Structure 1
Amino acid sequence: MDDIVRQAIAKWPHVPDCYGWLGLDARGHWYMRDDATQAQGPFPQSRGSRLQHDKLIEFIQRNYEADAEGRWFFQNGPQRVYVELESTPLVWRFGADGVPVAQNGTRLTGQGQCLVDENGYVYLACSAGLGLVHTLDVPQVADALEQGRWTPESVQSSDLPGRYGFVRSPAQQAAGTPNGAPPKA
């Protein structure tokens, strides 16, 4: 977390949390969701405006983490802006060195676990969290499978939030709408 963010939290410790205003899609793109967008429906059906400003995206990604309930958020100064997830909290891309790197710069730690859901989507899990493999990087996963680096495990996509302790829609949870995403025990 940036030092300026820590200072803002100390200066204004009781700023209310923000829900529904920020979304992360299955390709690792961030979306700003104003009131009008939110009124049109939940993320990702109603996405909003894709963020394009590199410095803003870098700031979000440096200050992106999960709370104890499995809700991922961006710490914007003293305010937590909870993120609506299309799929998973991380989206993996393969770096030039062949190591998966998430949209926020987190590198896959350890061996990792490879999962494939009923739709053929591929996920990697490690201590940093669960992430969907970007569709353009599935060939690198296939190469890793052929090399014996991973043995894929079959999963149901609906089981992922509970199994890996993340919440796809903190806004729905805050509104009391079940989203099938209890934190893991």
Structure 2
Amino acid sequence: MDDIVKAALKKWPNVPHCYGWLALDARGEWYMRDDRIQAAGPFPVVKGSRIAHEKLREFIERNYLHDDAGCWFFQNGPQRVYVELEATPWVWRLTATAAAPQLRSHTGLEASFESAWLDEHGRLFIATDLGLGLVHTLDMECAANAVEAGLWLPQDVMAAALPRQFGFVRRPAPGTDRA
């Protein structure tokens, strides 16, 4: 977490949490969802405005955390902005290596492989030391090579079971967080 964010938390400790205004899609893209967008429909049916500003994305990604209940949020100064997840808290980008693929999150963090999971829709999820994430669609060839080489042995899973099994909340709401 940025030092400026820590200082703001100390200065204003009781700022109300924010829900529904920030979302992460299955490709690791951030979306702002104002009142009008929220009224138009749920995420990801109605996504909102993709955050393209590089410095804003970097700020969000440096301050992207989770609470004890598995609700993910962006600590925006003194305000905790909870994130709606289309799939998982992480989206993995893969880099082929001589051994198993290297995993890097949509926020740029490196991760260590623990297990692979394949859902009923054919989506590949990877559990790591950081948590569960979905393999980015552009990296499925690299992932398929790891599976074919026997480096990753995906287990079957129902998509609806993932949040409970891996301890995350897709749609935080007041009362689901333990902040």
**Matched ranges for 1:7-156 at <5 A:** 7-95=7-95, 97=97, 98-109=101-112, 111-156=113-158
The separation in 1 between residues aligned to 2:103 and 2:137, in whole angstroms, is: 13
Q: C-alpha deviations, 1:69-89, integer Å up to 9, x for none?
A: 000000000110000011111
Deviations 1:141-161 (A, max 9, x none): 111112221111000000000
Task: State the distance in 1 between where 2:161 and 2:94 align.
Answer: 25
1:161 corresponds, among 160, 163, 168, to 163
Q: Deviations over 1:98-155 (max 9, x none)?
A: 311110112122x321100011000001120110001111111111112221111000
Tell me how far apart the structure 2 counterparts of residues 137 and 34 of structure 1 sit (CA, whole Å): 31
1:62 counterpart letter in structure 2: R
Distance in 1, matches of 2:39 and 2:169, equals: 21
- Which amino acid is the alignment partner of residue 157 of structure 1? A
Q: TM-score, normalised by structure 1?
A: 0.90
Considering Cα pairs closer than 8 Å and 6+ residues apart, tell me whether 1 or 2 has the greater RCO.
2
Give me the TM-score of the superposition, normalised by structure 2. Answer: 0.93
CA displacement at 1:96 relative to structure 2: 6.0
Q: Any idea what SS the aligned residue of 2:110 has? A: coil
How many residues of Structure 1 are paired with residues of Structure 2 in the alignment? 174
Aligned counterpart, 1:179: none
- Secondary structure of the residue aligned to 2:92 is strand
SS of residue in 2 equivalent to 1:112: strand
- Residue 41 of structure 1, CA deviation: 1.6
**SS of the residue aligned with 1:36?**
helix
| C-alpha contact (below 8 Å) 2:95/2:142 kept by paired residues | no
Gaps of 5+ in 2: none
Give the secondary structure class of the aligned counterpart of 1:6: helix
Kept in 1: contact 2:85–2:170 (CA 8 A): yes
Contact 2:21 2:83 in 1 (8 A): yes
Identity %: 56
CA-based RMSD? 1.6
